[in-house]
Amino acid sequence: MELMSTFLICATCLWVLNLAIYLYESASKTEEVEKKELDIIKLLNLNHSQLINKIDGMLGKEFESFLLRLLERFGYWGYQTADSGDYGADLIVFKDGLKIVVQAKRYSKSVGVKAIQEVLGAVKYYNADKALVITNSRFTKGAYKLAASGDVDLCDRSQLFDLIVMARGDNQKLSYS
């Protein structure tokens, strides 16, 4: 009987410990989500030239995170993929029952055909419905041609900043240079 009581006490302690860990992790995740929301609000409140400079100076993962938060403002939800082995998708987002793979390219040069090829591979790997490549730069003619034949949506610098303007609620256009 004493062994059974000890077992029940240990099991109860483990359950309470697991509950405490779960509650702590949930609170941490909530704080993380709130911090990320504050971060995008701070970014969106920068003046136009500060915002452009900030985006152009972001690291790849920062740019991906920014794009995810931006897309969330338009009703998408999703997640960033792993740093390596992402099979051509930096983000997986969902909206209106569609699964969309997103390739984020924070470049100083034009985005070429390779990015389109990668995201087309991601469509198959992730069994996605659509593909999107977003850049703070521009696309080459070859990229536009392959994207059109592969049904890949492209969002270049000017379109990205138009999205930012809509997310901010501005009525004025940004200068894209």
CA 13 to each of CA 1, 53, 137: distance values in angstroms, whole numbers, following the listed order: 18, 52, 55
Token pair, residue 174, equals 């940004």
| pLDDT tens for each residue of 127-150 | 999 999 999 999 999 999 999 998
pLDDT digits over 110-123, tens only?
Answer: 999 999 999 999 99
Place of tokens 């969002």: 155
- Rounded CA-CA distance 103/123 in Å is 11
CATH fold for domain 48-168: Trna Endonuclease; Chain: A, domain 1 (3.40.1350)
Average pLDDT over residues 150-171: 87
* pLDDT tens readout for residues 80-112: 998 777 788 999 999 999 999 999 999 999 999
Distance CA 32, CA 158 (A): 30
| Predicted pLDDT at 146 | 97
Q: Reduced to 3 DSSP states, what percent helix, strand and coil does the chain have, rounded to the nearest 5? A: 55, 15, 25
pLDDT higher for 50 or 29?
50
Nearest in space to 109 (alpha carbons), one of 144, 135, 145: 135
* Residue 171 host element (H or E): none
Query: Is the full-model pTM beyond 0.85?
Result: no
pLDDT of residue 110: 97
Q: Are 134 and 115 in contact (CB under 8 A)?
A: no
| DSSP run (H or E) holding 98 | strand 98-105
Of the two residues 25 and 45, the one the predictor is more confident about is 45
Least confident segment among 8-17, 68-77, 105-114, 155-164: 8-17
* pLDDT over 70 at 30, yes or no: no
Extract the tokens encoding 164: 């930012």
Q: What is the pLDDT of residue 109?
A: 95
